[in-house]
A and B are shown apart, each in its own frame.
Chain A
Amino acid sequence: MKACMRHLIATALLLAPLTSAFAQTAVNRNLPLSSGGRVELSNVAGSVTVRGWDRNEVQLTGSLGEGQRLEVESSANRVALKVVYPQNSHSSRGAVLELRVPRAAQLQTSTVSAGVDVADVDLRRLQSSTVSGSITANGRAGEAELTTVSGAIRSQLQTSRLETRTVSGGINAAGASGGEVSANTVSGGITLDLAKVQRLSAESVSGSVGVRSAGLQPGGRVNLETVSGSVSLGLPANTSAQLKVSTFSGSIRSDVGQVESPRYGPGKNLDARIGGGDGDISIQSHSGSVRVSLDR
Protein backbone atom coordinates (compact mmCIF):
# COMPACT_ATOMS: atom_id res chain seq x y z
CA MET A 1 0.00 0.00 0.00
CA LYS A 2 2.86 2.33 0.96
CA ALA A 3 4.68 1.51 -2.28
CA CYS A 4 1.53 2.32 -4.26
CA MET A 5 1.25 5.72 -2.58
CA ARG A 6 4.90 6.45 -3.31
CA HIS A 7 4.33 5.68 -6.99
CA LEU A 8 1.31 7.97 -7.09
CA ILE A 9 3.23 10.86 -5.50
CA ALA A 10 6.21 10.34 -7.80
CA THR A 11 3.93 10.31 -10.85
CA ALA A 12 2.19 13.47 -9.72
CA LEU A 13 5.55 15.23 -9.22
CA LEU A 14 6.75 14.15 -12.66
CA LEU A 15 3.60 15.34 -14.37
CA ALA A 16 3.46 18.71 -12.56
CA PRO A 17 5.74 20.57 -15.02
CA LEU A 18 3.83 19.06 -17.95
CA THR A 19 0.56 20.30 -16.47
CA SER A 20 2.08 23.77 -16.28
CA ALA A 21 3.24 23.51 -19.88
CA PHE A 22 -0.19 22.41 -21.02
CA ALA A 23 -1.66 25.43 -19.18
CA GLN A 24 0.16 27.66 -21.67
CA THR A 25 -1.67 28.53 -24.87
CA ALA A 26 0.13 28.89 -28.16
CA VAL A 27 -0.51 32.07 -30.14
CA ASN A 28 -0.19 32.38 -33.89
CA ARG A 29 -2.05 35.24 -35.51
CA ASN A 30 -1.46 36.97 -38.84
CA LEU A 31 -3.29 40.23 -39.49
CA PRO A 32 -3.09 42.49 -42.56
CA LEU A 33 -1.89 46.08 -42.10
CA SER A 34 -1.56 48.79 -44.70
CA SER A 35 1.73 50.66 -45.11
CA GLY A 36 2.25 53.23 -42.37
CA GLY A 37 -0.36 51.56 -40.19
CA ARG A 38 -0.34 51.44 -36.42
CA VAL A 39 0.46 48.41 -34.27
CA GLU A 40 -0.28 48.35 -30.55
CA LEU A 41 0.81 45.58 -28.20
CA SER A 42 0.02 45.44 -24.51
CA ASN A 43 1.35 42.75 -22.17
CA VAL A 44 1.93 42.86 -18.42
CA ALA A 45 4.62 40.22 -17.77
CA GLY A 46 6.83 37.81 -19.67
CA SER A 47 8.66 39.18 -22.68
CA VAL A 48 8.06 40.94 -25.97
CA THR A 49 10.35 40.56 -28.95
CA VAL A 50 9.75 42.69 -32.02
CA ARG A 51 11.30 42.14 -35.43
CA GLY A 52 10.63 43.76 -38.77
CA TRP A 53 9.83 42.08 -42.06
CA ASP A 54 8.90 42.93 -45.63
CA ARG A 55 5.25 41.91 -45.55
CA ASN A 56 2.18 44.09 -45.19
CA GLU A 57 0.93 42.12 -42.26
CA VAL A 58 1.49 41.74 -38.56
CA GLN A 59 2.29 38.38 -37.04
CA LEU A 60 2.09 37.50 -33.37
CA THR A 61 3.50 34.20 -32.17
CA GLY A 62 4.43 32.81 -28.78
CA SER A 63 2.58 31.53 -25.76
CA LEU A 64 0.14 32.84 -23.21
CA GLY A 65 0.28 31.81 -19.56
CA GLU A 66 -2.46 30.12 -17.59
CA GLY A 67 -5.80 31.89 -17.74
CA GLN A 68 -4.58 34.57 -20.14
CA ARG A 69 -6.35 35.46 -23.37
CA LEU A 70 -5.54 37.61 -26.36
CA GLU A 71 -7.79 40.48 -27.35
CA VAL A 72 -7.45 41.55 -30.97
CA GLU A 73 -8.76 44.64 -32.73
CA SER A 74 -7.91 44.84 -36.38
CA SER A 75 -8.64 47.20 -39.23
CA ALA A 76 -6.77 48.08 -42.42
CA ASN A 77 -4.74 50.78 -40.66
CA ARG A 78 -4.56 49.53 -37.10
CA VAL A 79 -3.87 46.32 -35.24
CA ALA A 80 -4.24 46.29 -31.46
CA LEU A 81 -3.15 43.23 -29.49
CA LYS A 82 -3.69 42.98 -25.76
CA VAL A 83 -2.96 40.10 -23.42
CA VAL A 84 -5.67 40.05 -20.78
CA TYR A 85 -4.59 38.55 -17.47
CA PRO A 86 -6.97 36.87 -15.03
CA GLN A 87 -7.73 38.60 -11.76
CA ASN A 88 -5.17 37.75 -9.05
CA SER A 89 -2.79 36.31 -11.62
CA HIS A 90 0.37 36.87 -9.57
CA SER A 91 1.33 33.20 -9.74
CA SER A 92 0.81 32.72 -13.48
CA ARG A 93 3.65 33.09 -15.97
CA GLY A 94 3.71 36.06 -18.25
CA ALA A 95 3.11 35.80 -21.97
CA VAL A 96 6.14 35.25 -24.18
CA LEU A 97 5.47 37.00 -27.46
CA GLU A 98 7.22 37.62 -30.75
CA LEU A 99 5.79 40.28 -33.00
CA ARG A 100 6.60 40.82 -36.65
CA VAL A 101 5.85 44.26 -38.00
CA PRO A 102 5.95 45.67 -41.55
CA ARG A 103 8.23 48.51 -42.65
CA ALA A 104 7.12 52.06 -41.96
CA ALA A 105 4.67 50.93 -39.28
CA GLN A 106 4.00 52.93 -36.15
CA LEU A 107 4.63 50.63 -33.22
CA GLN A 108 3.47 51.14 -29.66
CA THR A 109 4.26 48.60 -26.93
CA SER A 110 3.15 48.82 -23.34
CA THR A 111 4.25 46.39 -20.62
CA VAL A 112 4.67 46.33 -16.86
CA SER A 113 7.43 43.86 -16.00
CA ALA A 114 7.91 42.34 -19.42
CA GLY A 115 11.14 43.30 -21.14
CA VAL A 116 10.93 44.60 -24.71
CA ASP A 117 13.51 43.80 -27.36
CA VAL A 118 13.15 45.58 -30.71
CA ALA A 119 15.55 44.90 -33.57
CA ASP A 120 15.79 44.67 -37.36
CA VAL A 121 12.96 47.15 -37.74
CA ASP A 122 12.41 50.11 -40.01
CA LEU A 123 9.61 52.00 -38.34
CA ARG A 124 8.03 55.35 -38.86
CA ARG A 125 7.56 55.69 -35.15
CA LEU A 126 8.41 53.60 -32.07
CA GLN A 127 6.84 54.14 -28.67
CA SER A 128 7.70 51.67 -25.96
CA SER A 129 6.95 51.89 -22.25
CA THR A 130 7.54 49.55 -19.33
CA VAL A 131 7.50 49.84 -15.57
CA SER A 132 10.25 47.47 -14.44
CA GLY A 133 11.09 45.74 -17.69
CA SER A 134 14.07 46.82 -19.74
CA ILE A 135 13.88 48.15 -23.28
CA THR A 136 16.44 47.32 -25.94
CA ALA A 137 16.01 48.98 -29.31
CA ASN A 138 17.99 48.52 -32.50
CA GLY A 139 17.23 49.21 -36.12
CA ARG A 140 15.73 52.31 -37.68
CA ALA A 141 12.90 54.56 -36.59
CA GLY A 142 11.80 57.98 -37.80
CA GLU A 143 11.27 58.90 -34.20
CA ALA A 144 11.38 56.95 -30.95
CA GLU A 145 10.05 57.42 -27.45
CA LEU A 146 11.26 54.93 -24.83
CA THR A 147 10.10 55.19 -21.23
CA THR A 148 10.48 53.03 -18.14
CA VAL A 149 10.18 53.49 -14.42
CA SER A 150 12.96 51.25 -13.10
CA GLY A 151 13.93 49.31 -16.19
CA ALA A 152 17.06 50.10 -18.18
CA ILE A 153 16.93 51.59 -21.67
CA ARG A 154 19.51 50.60 -24.25
CA SER A 155 19.15 52.11 -27.68
CA GLN A 156 21.22 51.80 -30.80
CA LEU A 157 18.49 53.12 -33.00
CA GLN A 158 19.20 55.10 -36.08
CA THR A 159 16.73 57.87 -35.59
CA SER A 160 16.51 61.60 -36.03
CA ARG A 161 14.47 62.05 -32.88
CA LEU A 162 15.00 60.04 -29.71
CA GLU A 163 13.23 60.66 -26.43
CA THR A 164 14.08 58.51 -23.40
CA ARG A 165 12.83 58.74 -19.86
CA THR A 166 13.24 56.69 -16.67
CA VAL A 167 13.03 57.19 -12.93
CA SER A 168 15.75 54.87 -11.63
CA GLY A 169 16.70 52.93 -14.72
CA GLY A 170 19.83 53.76 -16.64
CA ILE A 171 19.77 55.17 -20.16
CA ASN A 172 22.36 54.12 -22.66
CA ALA A 173 22.01 55.39 -26.21
CA ALA A 174 24.66 54.88 -28.82
CA GLY A 175 25.07 54.45 -32.50
CA ALA A 176 23.68 56.86 -35.00
CA SER A 177 21.20 58.58 -32.72
CA GLY A 178 21.60 62.22 -33.62
CA GLY A 179 19.34 65.06 -34.59
CA GLU A 180 17.14 65.63 -31.57
CA VAL A 181 17.87 63.60 -28.45
CA SER A 182 16.44 63.94 -24.98
CA ALA A 183 17.19 61.79 -21.94
CA ASN A 184 15.58 62.30 -18.56
CA THR A 185 16.16 60.33 -15.38
CA VAL A 186 15.76 60.89 -11.68
CA SER A 187 18.43 58.63 -10.20
CA GLY A 188 19.45 56.55 -13.19
CA GLY A 189 22.65 57.30 -15.04
CA ILE A 190 22.68 58.62 -18.59
CA THR A 191 25.31 57.55 -21.10
CA LEU A 192 25.04 58.86 -24.63
CA ASP A 193 27.40 58.31 -27.54
CA LEU A 194 25.87 60.21 -30.40
CA ALA A 195 26.31 61.36 -33.95
CA LYS A 196 26.16 65.11 -34.62
CA VAL A 197 23.24 66.56 -32.74
CA GLN A 198 20.93 69.39 -33.57
CA ARG A 199 19.35 69.48 -30.17
CA LEU A 200 20.39 67.47 -27.13
CA SER A 201 18.87 67.64 -23.70
CA ALA A 202 19.94 65.36 -20.82
CA GLU A 203 18.61 65.92 -17.32
CA SER A 204 18.87 63.98 -14.09
CA VAL A 205 18.45 64.69 -10.43
CA SER A 206 21.08 62.44 -8.86
CA GLY A 207 22.13 60.26 -11.77
CA SER A 208 25.32 60.97 -13.65
CA VAL A 209 25.25 62.33 -17.19
CA GLY A 210 27.94 61.28 -19.64
CA VAL A 211 27.75 62.46 -23.23
CA ARG A 212 30.03 61.98 -26.19
CA SER A 213 28.99 63.43 -29.48
CA ALA A 214 30.49 63.69 -32.93
CA GLY A 215 29.70 67.39 -32.65
CA LEU A 216 26.93 69.86 -33.17
CA GLN A 217 25.07 70.45 -36.38
CA PRO A 218 25.13 74.13 -37.44
CA GLY A 219 23.36 76.12 -34.76
CA GLY A 220 22.96 73.03 -32.60
CA ARG A 221 22.06 73.22 -28.94
CA VAL A 222 23.12 71.06 -26.00
CA ASN A 223 21.60 71.37 -22.55
CA LEU A 224 22.80 69.17 -19.67
CA GLU A 225 21.41 69.51 -16.15
CA THR A 226 21.79 67.65 -12.88
CA VAL A 227 21.14 68.45 -9.26
CA SER A 228 23.80 66.27 -7.63
CA GLY A 229 24.96 63.99 -10.43
CA SER A 230 28.24 64.49 -12.23
CA VAL A 231 28.33 65.66 -15.85
CA SER A 232 30.87 64.88 -18.52
CA LEU A 233 30.77 66.07 -22.10
CA GLY A 234 33.19 65.03 -24.81
CA LEU A 235 33.27 66.78 -28.17
CA PRO A 236 35.60 66.91 -31.14
CA ALA A 237 38.16 69.72 -31.17
CA ASN A 238 36.58 71.31 -34.25
CA THR A 239 33.29 71.94 -32.45
CA SER A 240 31.81 75.39 -32.91
CA ALA A 241 29.78 76.54 -29.94
CA GLN A 242 29.40 78.96 -27.08
CA LEU A 243 29.95 77.06 -23.83
CA LYS A 244 28.36 78.06 -20.53
CA VAL A 245 28.87 76.02 -17.38
CA SER A 246 27.66 76.82 -13.88
CA THR A 247 27.62 74.94 -10.60
CA PHE A 248 26.78 75.89 -7.06
CA SER A 249 29.18 73.65 -5.16
CA GLY A 250 30.49 71.22 -7.75
CA SER A 251 33.83 71.45 -9.50
CA ILE A 252 34.38 72.44 -13.14
CA ARG A 253 37.17 71.08 -15.31
CA SER A 254 37.32 72.08 -18.92
CA ASP A 255 39.78 71.85 -21.80
CA VAL A 256 38.59 75.26 -22.90
CA GLY A 257 37.93 78.52 -21.04
CA GLN A 258 38.66 79.70 -17.52
CA VAL A 259 36.67 78.73 -14.45
CA GLU A 260 35.60 81.77 -12.47
CA SER A 261 34.36 82.03 -8.91
CA PRO A 262 32.72 85.08 -7.35
CA ARG A 263 34.86 86.88 -4.76
CA TYR A 264 32.24 86.30 -2.11
CA GLY A 265 29.77 83.46 -1.92
CA PRO A 266 29.53 80.09 -3.53
CA GLY A 267 29.37 79.07 -7.15
CA LYS A 268 31.61 78.57 -10.16
CA ASN A 269 31.02 79.31 -13.77
CA LEU A 270 32.73 79.14 -17.11
CA ASP A 271 31.92 81.04 -20.27
CA ALA A 272 33.96 80.20 -23.34
CA ARG A 273 33.83 80.12 -27.09
CA ILE A 274 34.79 76.96 -28.92
CA GLY A 275 35.73 77.53 -32.56
CA GLY A 276 33.36 79.88 -34.36
CA GLY A 277 30.81 79.64 -31.56
CA ASP A 278 27.66 79.20 -33.64
CA GLY A 279 26.11 76.53 -31.41
CA ASP A 280 25.11 76.70 -27.76
CA ILE A 281 26.16 74.37 -24.95
CA SER A 282 24.74 74.88 -21.49
CA ILE A 283 25.71 72.75 -18.49
CA GLN A 284 24.21 73.35 -15.09
CA SER A 285 24.66 71.36 -11.92
CA HIS A 286 23.93 72.18 -8.33
CA SER A 287 26.51 70.03 -6.57
CA GLY A 288 27.74 67.64 -9.22
CA SER A 289 31.16 67.97 -10.83
CA VAL A 290 31.41 68.98 -14.48
CA ARG A 291 34.02 67.87 -17.01
CA VAL A 292 34.23 69.20 -20.57
CA SER A 293 36.80 67.62 -22.85
CA LEU A 294 37.73 68.30 -26.44
CA ASP A 295 39.38 65.55 -28.48
CA ARG A 296 42.80 66.59 -29.70
Chain B
Amino acid sequence: MNIHDDDHDDALAQRLRGLPSERVAPAAVWQRIAAELEQTPRFQQAPAAPALNAAAPRRMQRRWPRYGAAAVIVALIAGAGVLWLPQQPPAAVAVEESSLQHQANTITYQYRQAMATLPQQDVAAELQPALRELDESAGSIRSAIAQSPDAAFLLGQLQRTYALRLELTRKGVNPTGLST
Protein backbone atom coordinates (compact mmCIF):
# COMPACT_ATOMS: atom_id res chain seq x y z
CA MET B 1 0.00 0.00 0.00
CA ASN B 2 1.62 3.28 -1.02
CA ILE B 3 1.12 6.82 0.26
CA HIS B 4 -1.44 7.57 -2.40
CA ASP B 5 -3.50 4.57 -1.31
CA ASP B 6 -3.24 5.69 2.32
CA ASP B 7 -4.51 9.15 1.41
CA HIS B 8 -7.31 7.66 -0.64
CA ASP B 9 -8.28 5.31 2.21
CA ASP B 10 -8.22 8.17 4.72
CA ALA B 11 -10.42 10.29 2.46
CA LEU B 12 -12.80 7.38 1.97
CA ALA B 13 -12.87 6.70 5.71
CA GLN B 14 -13.63 10.35 6.34
CA ARG B 15 -16.50 10.28 3.85
CA LEU B 16 -17.87 7.11 5.37
CA ARG B 17 -17.71 8.63 8.86
CA GLY B 18 -19.49 11.67 7.46
CA LEU B 19 -22.47 9.61 6.36
CA PRO B 20 -25.60 10.35 8.43
CA SER B 21 -25.59 7.99 11.38
CA GLU B 22 -29.39 7.90 11.39
CA ARG B 23 -29.57 5.97 8.13
CA VAL B 24 -29.38 2.58 9.72
CA ALA B 25 -30.03 -0.37 7.48
CA PRO B 26 -32.57 -2.87 8.79
CA ALA B 27 -31.29 -5.84 10.76
CA ALA B 28 -32.07 -8.29 7.96
CA VAL B 29 -29.82 -6.38 5.57
CA TRP B 30 -26.89 -6.39 8.01
CA GLN B 31 -27.32 -10.13 8.54
CA ARG B 32 -27.17 -10.59 4.80
CA ILE B 33 -24.05 -8.42 4.57
CA ALA B 34 -22.35 -10.48 7.28
CA ALA B 35 -23.19 -13.68 5.43
CA GLU B 36 -21.91 -12.24 2.17
CA LEU B 37 -18.65 -11.12 3.79
CA GLU B 38 -18.06 -14.58 5.25
CA GLN B 39 -18.65 -16.21 1.90
CA THR B 40 -16.57 -13.80 -0.17
CA PRO B 41 -13.35 -15.61 -1.27
CA ARG B 42 -11.30 -12.40 -1.28
CA PHE B 43 -11.63 -12.11 2.49
CA GLN B 44 -11.25 -15.82 3.18
CA GLN B 45 -8.05 -16.12 1.12
CA ALA B 46 -6.12 -13.46 3.03
CA PRO B 47 -3.20 -15.49 4.57
CA ALA B 48 -2.10 -14.72 8.08
CA ALA B 49 1.69 -14.85 7.38
CA PRO B 50 3.64 -15.06 10.69
CA ALA B 51 6.29 -12.59 9.49
CA LEU B 52 3.66 -9.98 8.88
CA ASN B 53 1.83 -10.38 12.17
CA ALA B 54 3.35 -7.29 13.74
CA ALA B 55 2.18 -5.08 10.92
CA ALA B 56 -1.22 -6.74 10.62
CA PRO B 57 -3.24 -4.54 13.02
CA ARG B 58 -2.03 -1.40 11.28
CA ARG B 59 -2.72 -2.89 7.87
CA MET B 60 -6.17 -3.94 8.95
CA GLN B 61 -6.71 -0.41 10.20
CA ARG B 62 -5.77 0.88 6.75
CA ARG B 63 -7.92 -1.67 4.99
CA TRP B 64 -11.11 -1.24 6.95
CA PRO B 65 -12.42 1.54 4.72
CA ARG B 66 -12.16 -0.92 1.82
CA TYR B 67 -14.19 -3.44 3.79
CA GLY B 68 -16.61 -0.65 4.60
CA ALA B 69 -16.91 0.26 0.94
CA ALA B 70 -17.42 -3.43 0.08
CA ALA B 71 -20.11 -3.63 2.76
CA VAL B 72 -21.88 -0.60 1.30
CA ILE B 73 -21.83 -2.19 -2.17
CA VAL B 74 -23.14 -5.48 -0.78
CA ALA B 75 -25.81 -3.56 1.14
CA LEU B 76 -26.90 -1.85 -2.08
CA ILE B 77 -27.07 -5.20 -3.89
CA ALA B 78 -28.97 -6.73 -0.98
CA GLY B 79 -31.30 -3.71 -0.92
CA ALA B 80 -32.00 -4.17 -4.63
CA GLY B 81 -32.78 -7.82 -3.92
CA VAL B 82 -35.22 -6.80 -1.19
CA LEU B 83 -37.01 -4.54 -3.67
CA TRP B 84 -37.69 -7.47 -5.96
CA LEU B 85 -38.74 -9.93 -3.27
CA PRO B 86 -42.46 -9.26 -3.81
CA GLN B 87 -42.24 -10.95 -7.21
CA GLN B 88 -43.11 -13.98 -5.10
CA PRO B 89 -46.22 -14.19 -2.94
CA PRO B 90 -45.55 -12.50 0.43
CA ALA B 91 -46.05 -15.77 2.30
CA ALA B 92 -42.94 -17.19 0.58
CA VAL B 93 -40.69 -14.39 1.79
CA ALA B 94 -38.45 -15.84 4.49
CA VAL B 95 -36.79 -12.68 5.79
CA GLU B 96 -37.53 -10.90 9.03
CA GLU B 97 -39.79 -8.00 8.24
CA SER B 98 -41.85 -5.50 10.13
CA SER B 99 -45.63 -5.44 9.97
CA LEU B 100 -45.37 -2.35 7.77
CA GLN B 101 -42.93 -4.08 5.43
CA HIS B 102 -45.18 -7.10 5.25
CA GLN B 103 -48.12 -4.88 4.28
CA ALA B 104 -45.93 -3.06 1.78
CA ASN B 105 -44.86 -6.37 0.27
CA THR B 106 -48.49 -7.50 0.07
CA ILE B 107 -49.49 -4.26 -1.64
CA THR B 108 -46.54 -4.50 -4.02
CA TYR B 109 -47.40 -8.09 -4.87
CA GLN B 110 -51.02 -7.17 -5.60
CA TYR B 111 -49.91 -4.16 -7.61
CA ARG B 112 -47.57 -6.27 -9.75
CA GLN B 113 -50.33 -8.81 -10.31
CA ALA B 114 -52.62 -6.01 -11.51
CA MET B 115 -49.89 -4.53 -13.70
CA ALA B 116 -49.25 -7.90 -15.32
CA THR B 117 -52.76 -7.78 -16.79
CA LEU B 118 -52.11 -4.48 -18.58
CA PRO B 119 -50.47 -4.15 -22.00
CA GLN B 120 -47.37 -2.12 -21.03
CA GLN B 121 -45.98 -1.79 -24.55
CA ASP B 122 -49.05 0.13 -25.75
CA VAL B 123 -48.79 2.94 -23.22
CA ALA B 124 -48.57 6.39 -24.83
CA ALA B 125 -45.05 7.80 -25.14
CA GLU B 126 -45.95 11.08 -23.43
CA LEU B 127 -46.75 9.20 -20.25
CA GLN B 128 -43.52 7.23 -20.09
CA PRO B 129 -41.50 9.83 -18.12
CA ALA B 130 -44.26 10.05 -15.53
CA LEU B 131 -44.47 6.28 -15.27
CA ARG B 132 -40.72 6.08 -14.70
CA GLU B 133 -41.05 8.79 -12.07
CA LEU B 134 -43.75 6.78 -10.32
CA ASP B 135 -41.68 3.59 -10.42
CA GLU B 136 -38.66 5.36 -8.95
CA SER B 137 -40.81 6.97 -6.29
CA ALA B 138 -42.35 3.65 -5.32
CA GLY B 139 -38.81 2.30 -4.90
CA SER B 140 -37.89 5.27 -2.68
CA ILE B 141 -40.96 4.74 -0.53
CA ARG B 142 -40.22 1.04 -0.13
CA SER B 143 -36.67 1.88 0.92
CA ALA B 144 -38.04 4.39 3.41
CA ILE B 145 -40.41 1.75 4.82
CA ALA B 146 -37.47 -0.63 5.24
CA GLN B 147 -35.60 2.05 7.18
CA SER B 148 -38.50 3.37 9.20
CA PRO B 149 -40.90 0.52 10.01
CA ASP B 150 -43.06 2.67 12.31
CA ALA B 151 -43.92 5.34 9.74
CA ALA B 152 -47.41 4.17 8.81
CA PHE B 153 -47.95 7.19 6.57
CA LEU B 154 -45.46 5.72 4.11
CA LEU B 155 -47.86 2.87 3.44
CA GLY B 156 -50.46 5.41 2.31
CA GLN B 157 -47.86 7.04 0.08
CA LEU B 158 -47.02 3.67 -1.46
CA GLN B 159 -50.69 2.85 -2.07
CA ARG B 160 -51.27 6.24 -3.64
CA THR B 161 -48.23 5.89 -5.91
CA TYR B 162 -49.22 2.41 -7.07
CA ALA B 163 -52.84 3.48 -7.60
CA LEU B 164 -51.69 6.41 -9.72
CA ARG B 165 -49.32 4.18 -11.69
CA LEU B 166 -52.14 1.73 -12.43
CA GLU B 167 -54.56 4.50 -13.33
CA LEU B 168 -52.11 6.16 -15.71
CA THR B 169 -51.15 2.87 -17.30
CA ARG B 170 -54.80 2.01 -17.88
CA LYS B 171 -55.56 5.43 -19.32
CA GLY B 172 -52.25 5.62 -21.14
CA VAL B 173 -53.21 2.75 -23.39
CA ASN B 174 -55.62 5.24 -24.96
CA PRO B 175 -54.52 8.77 -24.03
CA THR B 176 -57.39 10.43 -25.88
CA GLY B 177 -59.67 8.60 -23.50
CA LEU B 178 -58.19 10.48 -20.56
CA SER B 179 -60.91 12.19 -18.63
CA THR B 180 -61.53 13.49 -15.18
A112 interfacial by beta-carbon distance below 8 Å: yes
B134–A287 contact, CB under 8 A?
no
Specify the main secondary structure of chain A where it touches its partner: loop
B180–A167 contact, CB under 8 A?
no
Give a binary string over A201-233; 1 marks a CB under 8 Å from any B CB, 0 the rest. 001011000000000000000000101100000
A132 interfacial by beta-carbon distance below 8 Å: yes
A289 interfacial by beta-carbon distance below 8 Å: no
A129 interfacial by beta-carbon distance below 8 Å: yes
Q: Which of B134, B154, B157, B180 is close to A145, meaning CB atoms less than 8 Å apart? A: B180
The stretch from B34-42, B81-89, B171-179 touching chain A is B171-179
Given contacts A108-B180, A225-B157, 5 further A-B contacts (CB under 8 A): A110-B180, A167-B133, A205-B137, A249-B22, A266-B22
Q: Would A227 and B140 be within 8 Å (CB), given that A44-B176, A147-B180, A266-B23 are in contact?
A: yes
A150–B129 contact, CB under 8 A?
yes
How far is it, in angstroms, between the C-alpha of A184 and the C-alpha of B175 when the chains are bound? Answer: 21
List of A residues within 8 angstroms of B137 by Cβ: 186-187, 205-206, 227
Q: Which of A131, A266, A267 is close to B126, meaning CB atoms less than 8 Å apart? A: A131
The stretch from B59-67, B107-115, B141-149 touching chain A is B141-149
4 closest Cβ pairs, A-B complex = A266-B22, A127-B180, A248-B148, A205-B137
| Chain A, 260-275, CB within 8 A of any chain B CB | 265-267
A149 interfacial by beta-carbon distance below 8 Å: yes
What total of chain A residues lie within 8 Å of the partner, measured CB to CB? 37
Of all chain B residues, the one with the shortest Cβ separation from A186 is: B137
| Chain A, 171-209, CB within 8 A of any chain B CB | 184, 186-187, 203, 205-206
List of B residues within 8 angstroms of A225 by Cβ: 153, 156-157
Of all chain B residues, the one with the shortest Cβ separation from A126 is: B180
B161–A205 contact, CB under 8 A?
yes
Query: Can you show 19 pairs from A to B with CB atoms below 8 A apart?
Result: A85-B176, A108-B180, A112-B126, A147-B180, A149-B168, A167-B133, A167-B164, A186-B137, A203-B157, A225-B153, A225-B156, A227-B137, A248-B144, A249-B20, A249-B147, A266-B23, A266-B148, A284-B151, A286-B154
Q: Which of A149, A227, A265 is close to B141, meaning CB atoms less than 8 Å apart? A: A227
Q: Would A284 and B153 be within 8 Å (CB), given that A167-B164, A205-B161, A249-B20 are in contact?
A: yes
List of A residues within 8 angstroms of B133 by Cβ: 167-168, 186-187
Of all chain A residues, the one with the shortest Cβ separation from B140 is: A227
A113 interfacial by beta-carbon distance below 8 Å: yes
Q: Which of A149, A184, A186, A227 is close to B144, meaning CB atoms less than 8 Å apart? A: A227
B94, chain A: closest CB distance, angstroms: 26
Q: Which of B23, B140, B168 is close to A205, meaning CB atoms less than 8 Å apart? A: B140
How far is it, in angstroms, between the C-alpha of A43 and the C-alpha of B30 when the chains are bound? Answer: 54
List of A residues within 8 angstroms of B22 by Cβ: 248-249, 266-267
What total of chain B residues lie within 8 Å of the partner, measured CB to CB? 31
Specify the main secondary structure of chain B where it touches its partner: helix
B127 interfacial by beta-carbon distance below 8 Å: yes
B157–A227 contact, CB under 8 A?
yes
B72 interfacial by beta-carbon distance below 8 Å: no
A42 interfacial by beta-carbon distance below 8 Å: yes
How far is it, in angstroms, between the C-alpha of A203 and the C-alpha of B153 when the chains are bound? Answer: 10
A129, chain B: closest CB distance, angstroms: 4
B8 interfacial by beta-carbon distance below 8 Å: no
Q: Would A186 and B161 be within 8 Å (CB), given that A227-B144, A249-B23, A266-B24 are in contact?
A: yes
List of B residues within 8 angstroms of A249 by Cβ: 20, 22-23, 147
B130 interfacial by beta-carbon distance below 8 Å: yes
B178–A206 contact, CB under 8 A?
no
How far is it, in angstroms, between the C-alpha of A248 and the C-alpha of B24 when the chains are bound? Answer: 10
List of B residues within 8 angstroms of A112 by Cβ: 126, 175-176, 178
A186–B164 contact, CB under 8 A?
yes
List of A residues within 8 angstroms of B153 by Cβ: 225, 284
How far is it, in angstroms, between the C-alpha of A183 and the C-alpha of B22 when the chains are bound? Answer: 29
List of A residues within 8 angstroms of B126 by Cβ: 112-113, 131-132
A128 interfacial by beta-carbon distance below 8 Å: yes
List of A residues within 8 angstroms of B156 by Cβ: 203, 225
Q: Which of A113, A149, A203, A266 is close to B130, meaning CB atoms less than 8 Å apart? A: A149
A131–B178 contact, CB under 8 A?
yes
List of B residues within 8 angstroms of A206 by Cβ: 137, 140
How far is it, in angstroms, between the C-alpha of A167 and the C-alpha of B132 when the chains are bound? Answer: 11
